[in-house]
Amino acid sequence: MDQLDDEILSMFIEDSSEHLANIETALMDMERHGADIDEELVNTVFRAAHSIKGGAGFLNLNNIRDLSHKLESLLHLIRSREVVPDTRVINQLLTGFDRLLSLVVAGPASDGQDISQLLDSLSGLTTEHLTTEQRAQATAQTPIRLPGGEVIFEEDELTLRQGTSGGKNLYLVEYDLIHDVQARGKTPLDVINTMESSGLIIDCRMELAAVGDLDAPPVNRIPFYVLYASIVEPDIIGYLFALDVSRIHPVALDLPDVQAAPPPASPQASPTPEPAAASVAFGPWQLSLGAQQAVLALRPGETPDAATAREALLQALSQGLPATLDWNAPQSCDLAMLQVLLAAARTFAGQGLSLVQSTAPPDAVAATARRAGITPEALADAGLPGDLLAVG
């Protein structure tokens, strides 16, 4: 830990504590919903565990990383309706998140605590709900290599399947903390937060061994590797990371097909599925689901949010509906939001569905596109409509 920036550690502790501030209330609400899962609520809790896991992975806080990963795995099964959040499950999650908060507050000293019993309890509860095939996946390790053959990560097949669900692509991304992060006035946590807004960080680590020693030729780089899953297609992924594409490596997974476990029966469950809600809130967005079309509208006066826009558009895709985006003239728009729009346009088209905008994109959207160099020619080269962002 001597080589880590104290400011970054302080930021991690502060951000993680904020993520955990209202977890108990959210978990109790999840228990009240039972089998009638509130997806937005579960996603909020899942993102808290996942975000903390990413920061802990960078900082080499192993206990925090491992506990976050166990919580995340159980929450993934709830989110996919393979586990009902009953009293027993919620009590285990409450215990896990309570201990996670104490570890976060302890910072580097957290790795001196024994959490093996808690990890075993969470693993046992998760394993109960896996099929025989999924249990085998949970122990089968898959190496993730650089093009030259160097193994950067070893991940279990179940984690990879969960991370790439929903048609996500998998990438191994090489950052240099000196030139790609510090020189741009950012921190690694900034990078992690930006990536999380448009996808899922499965794993990350800093490679301090690469700095070499004084007797060797100067290296002048500190690698930071990220294993990342996103719906963004390989030919436009460079826009998201602001990196040379030579350092963004698509990972092809050759995992055998396995039948997923069926959702558990619930005595309260209706014998017929409930129809999709006519209108669902996603942060500043309102998604209206009609019989033939979905409309995603930014509420007046709100700022576009990439993460919630992505969730809403994925919801429309899951219903097999074409979508219309209504911007409602925001005053600002960041690049992460534009990346989601580009990715969504490609994904909708790939499924034979239309994604249109009710009016020309507002000035804030076009201005962000111009600053990023997203020209009509660049869009066309990526196989997207040149007028998608109305840039001149």
Q: Which residues pair with 205 in a beta bridge?
A: 225
Which letter does DSSP use for residue 389 in this model? T
Rounded percentage of the chain residues whose pLDDT exceeds 90: 16
Chain-centre distance for alpha carbon 208: 25
Q: Would you say residue 1 has pLDDT above 50? A: no
Delimiting residues of CATH 3.30.750.24 domain(s) in the chain: 279-381
CATH 3.40.50.720, domain 1-129, yes or no: no
Confidence band for 360, pLDDT divided at 50, 70 and 90: confident
Delimiting residues of CATH 1.20.120.160 domain(s) in the chain: 1-129
Q: Using one digit for the tens of pLDDT, what is the confidence trace for 262-301?
A: 444 444 444 434 344 468 888 898 999 888 888 999 998 8
31 class by beta-carbon count within 10 Å (0-12 exposed, 13-18 middle, 19+ buried): middle
pTM more than 0.75: no
pLDDT value at residue 119: 93
Q: Where are the beta strands (DSSP E) in 103-160?
A: 141-145, 151-156
The H helix count followed by the E strand count for the chain is 14, 11
Rounded average pLDDT over 155-183: 84
CATH number of 279-381: 3.30.750.24
Q: Would you say residue 152 has pLDDT above 80? A: yes
Whether residue 262 contacts residue 183, with contact meaning beta carbons closer than 8 Å, is answered with no
